[in-house]
Amino acid sequence: MQFVITAVGPDNRGLADPIVHCVTELGANIAEIQMFDHDQESVFSMLTRVELAANKVDDLRGAMQEISRLTGLSVRTWSPNTNSHRPRIAVCATFRRETPRAVLEAVQTGAIHAEVAAMISNREACRPLAEEFAAPWFQIGDATGNADDERLIEICDEQNIDYIVLARYMRILPPSSVWKYAGGRIVNLHHGLLPSFPGMRPYHDAHAVRMLTYGATCHFIVPELDAGNQTINQSTFSVPPGTPLEEIIRHGQAENEPKCLVEGVRRAVSGEVQLHFNRVVATKYAGKFAAK
């Protein structure tokens, strides 16, 4: 079985050694290791992807809990091999309802083989949507919409979330949150084509240079914002010259963005694609990227 181990916490010496020694002693094959020191914040982050015999799962989880206790690191052990259950997803949204609705409907119809275990927002706008689909609702924003990022992670831990889906969630997750659910567990919809049009106003930017093709990008989140090398799915539409920006945005938000996100989430939760060394690979080729 494949396991992804993430560790985040105050920077110090010797934090990686216990994790590496533990997995090798258990007979695991290490397929990927990433480490990063956030010097300004004095935060250490680490991701380790391993292949381990299924009968060693309890030993691995117990050992990681002990390492967490001894080092003060926030350690998570997760497996993308969810054959025994439907993947549990958390749908995060802010104002717009088209994209979260599309995901909820796709789960309801079986187009996405998953269970919506939480709907999380920094605003109240999508609460009726959660009620309509009987999705557990969690509001993590203050009166001005500032989100409690730590609470978001706590909810995902409490609900045993496999994948976090950012369905037009208009907040940037901090690096510590991204590292805690690293390894291809956070799926985002960007309402523009990456890498050409990053940022908060991709429709406007594309229109300013007289583009006739617009689109959306579904990608795995990594600490670098809109890095563009983690694309799961892209969907485009073309318009005649002179089409008003308002009409372009309406079509993109109502039709193209929902379609793009649904297919991207389906690919991720079905295991068709995974993230290895911050690159999206088809599952059947994933082994070629394993470290020897």
Find the CATH number of the domain harbouring 36.
3.30.70.260
Among 50, 78, 106, give the residue marking a domain's end. Answer: 78
Domain for residue 288, yes or no?
no
Q: Are residues 54 and 98 in the same domain?
A: no
Q: How far is CA 220 from the centre of its chain?
A: 5
Half-sphere exposure of residue 202: CA atoms within 13 angstroms, side-chain side: 20
Domain for residue 285, yes or no?
no
Q: Where are the beta strands (DSSP E) in 59-149?
A: 74-78, 88-93, 115-121, 137-139
Among 56, 78, 100, give the residue marking a domain's end. Answer: 78
Per residue in 220-253, pLDDT (tens digit) is 998 765 455 699 999 999 999 999 999 999 999 9
Q: Are residues 46 and 175 in the same domain?
A: no
Per residue in 175-218, pLDDT (tens digit) is 889 999 999 999 999 999 999 999 899 999 999 999 999 999 99
Q: Are residues 250 and 192 in the same domain?
A: yes
Q: Are residues 73 and 23 in the same domain?
A: yes
Q: Are residues 129 and 259 in the same domain?
A: yes
Distance CA 133, CA 105 (A): 8
Q: Are residues 29 and 125 in the same domain?
A: no
Half-sphere exposure of residue 266: CA atoms within 13 angstroms, side-chain side: 18
Distance CA 59, CA 22 (A): 10
For the chain, the first-to-last Cα distance in angstroms comes to 17
pLDDT value at residue 249: 98
pLDDT value at residue 226: 46
pLDDT value at residue 65: 96
Q: Are residues 10 and 95 in the same domain?
A: no
pLDDT at 287 over 90: no
Could you tell me the pTM of the whole model? 0.93
Q: Are residues 186 and 70 in the same domain?
A: no
* CATH number (domain holding residue 158): 3.40.50.170
Q: Are residues 62 and 94 in the same domain?
A: no
Q: Are residues 101 and 142 in the same domain?
A: yes
Q: Are residues 9 and 122 in the same domain?
A: no
For strands 163-166 and 88-93, give the pairing: parallel
pLDDT value at residue 22: 96
Domain for residue 260, yes or no?
yes
The pLDDT of 58-70, averaged and rounded, is: 96
Distance CA 280, CA 202 (A): 23
**Distances 176 to 10, 18, 43, 284 between C-alpha atoms, Å:** 11, 20, 8, 30
| Contact indicator for 162, 134 with CB cutoff of 8 Å | no
pLDDT value at residue 292: 35
Check residue 141 and report its DSSP letter: B
Among 78, 98, 133, give the residue marking a domain's end. Answer: 78
Least confident of 80-94, 150-164, 261-275: 80-94
pLDDT band, residue 289 (cuts 50/70/90): very low
Q: Are residues 29 and 120 in the same domain?
A: no
Domain of 276, in residue numbers: 88-280
Per residue in 11-29, pLDDT (tens digit) is 888 899 999 999 999 999 9
| Contact indicator for 189, 99 with CB cutoff of 8 Å | yes
- Counted domains in the chain: 2
Domain for residue 114, yes or no?
yes
pLDDT value at residue 283: 82
Distance CA 85, CA 162 (A): 11
